[in-house]
Every structure is written in C-alpha cells, then in structure tokens.
Amino acid sequence: MGLEEKLPSGFLLSTVEAAAGWVRKASMWPATFGLACCAIEMMAVGTPDYDIARFGMERFSATPRQADLMIVAGRVSQKMAPVLRQVYDQMPDPKWVIAMGVCASSGGMFNNYAIVQGVDHVVPVDIYLPGCPPRPQMLLNAIIELHKQIQTTPLGVNREAAARAAEEAALRETPTHQMKGLLA
C-alpha cells in the first residue's frame, strides 16, 4: 500500500519543525569515540544481528566533519579529554552526544585522578546510558530516546544560547541576598 492511499485527500499537513525533526533523526551519522571495553558493544550494533542501519545510520563516520552524533564509549582519561573536545568542536551543528556506560557517564569505578568523572565535564551530553557495559540493545534504545528528543527540538535552538537563557532565568529567581554571594 502506497502513502497516497493512506492520505484521504492526497495532501498532508505538518510543520516545518516536525519535518526537519523527522529528517534529522532519520539520517544521523555517528562519529565514534570508542575508548574502552564499551566500544566492543558499540561496534556490535553495526552487525547484522542489531543492524543500526534500520535507524538511518548507514555507517559510522571516520571524520567528525560529516558526523552529528558522538557516542562516547568508555572511560575518558584526562589526556584524552582535549582530543575529545576537539573532535566535538569539529562536528557541524546540530549535534548530539550519548555517554555510553557508567565510565563515560560518571567515571564509573575509576574514581581517580587520571579519569574524567563524566564526559559532561568536557562536552554537553544528551543521553546518559547506564551499564557496564550496556548491551547493544540498550544503545539502540538510547538512540530511539534521542530520536524523540530531536523530533521535538524546535528549529534554531542553539545549545549554548539555551543554557545561557536557563542560567539567566535561574538567576532571576534567586533571592537577592544569595545572588550577591554568587556574583562576589
């Protein structure tokens, strides 16, 4: 059955934002950031068993300039953090980040000087995926959740501007005596 048979009057009403969200979520290219054991599970989603291509991700991009999703799979060492940030900065907007596994999300069991205690100290994170390691099905579920976020994100939303606006709104609600302490 073709699409035209499902549309009673032969036309479809939507918004540009909904159409853009649908297109964006259905054609993401991940830039991999496999750093440790979690990367093995991430690689598994590309195999026929899990088939990440079903979600519009035909391939993992070898260059960040052609990628809009960073999957941080594994612990992030202090030495690797600036490299990770550089790769993120090279990705064109709009872009998204999944912290895969407890190490990427919070440092996990590596609570020591050498490991960044959560990749959100380095780049903004959209989805935190628990597990050690998370199974490939869990990564696919995280991608589906991210798709829902993307579908409802208004066009033109700039992450930094949105964060600044939230910060200013929080400051406006802060009692003056506390604000003096914050500004001091």
Provide the annotated binding site for [4Fe-4S] cluster: 37-38, 103, 132
Report the residue from 46, 101, 107, 136 that binds ligand SF4 according to the rule CB under 6 A.
Answer: 101
Does 127 bind ligand SF4 (CB under 6 A)? Our answer is: no
Site for ligand SF4 in 129-148 (CB under 6 A): 132-133
Stretch that binds ligand SF4, among 17-25, 32-40, 61-69, 143-151 (CB under 6 A): 32-40
Residue 75 is a binding residue for ligand SF4 (CB under 6 A):
yes
Q: Is position 102 an interface residue for ligand SF4 (rule: CB under 6 A)?
A: yes
Residues 6+ apart with CB under 8 A from 46: 52, 60
Q: Does the footprint of ligand SF4 cover residue 23 (CB under 6 A)?
A: no
Sequence length of the chain is 184
Q: DSSP letters along the chain, please?
A: --HHHH-TTS-----HHHHHHHHHHTT--EEEEE-STHHHHHHHTTSTTT-GGGGT----BSSGGG-SEEEEES--BTTTHHHHHHHHHHSPSS-EEEEEHHHHHH-TT--STTB-S-GGGTS--SEEE-SSSPPHHHHHHHHHHHHHHHHHSPTT--HHHHHHHHHHHHHHHS-HHHHHHHH-
Smallest gap from Cβ 109 to ligand SF4, in A, equals 7
Q: Which of 36, 43, 81, 138 binds ligand SF4 (CB under 6 A)?
A: 36
103 lies in the binding site for ligand SF4 (CB under 6 A): yes
37 touches ligand SF4 by CB under 6 A: yes
Beta carbon of residue 35, minimum distance to ligand SF4 (angstroms, whole number): 7
By CB under 6 A, name the binding residues for ligand SF4: 36-38, 74-75, 101-103, 108, 132-133
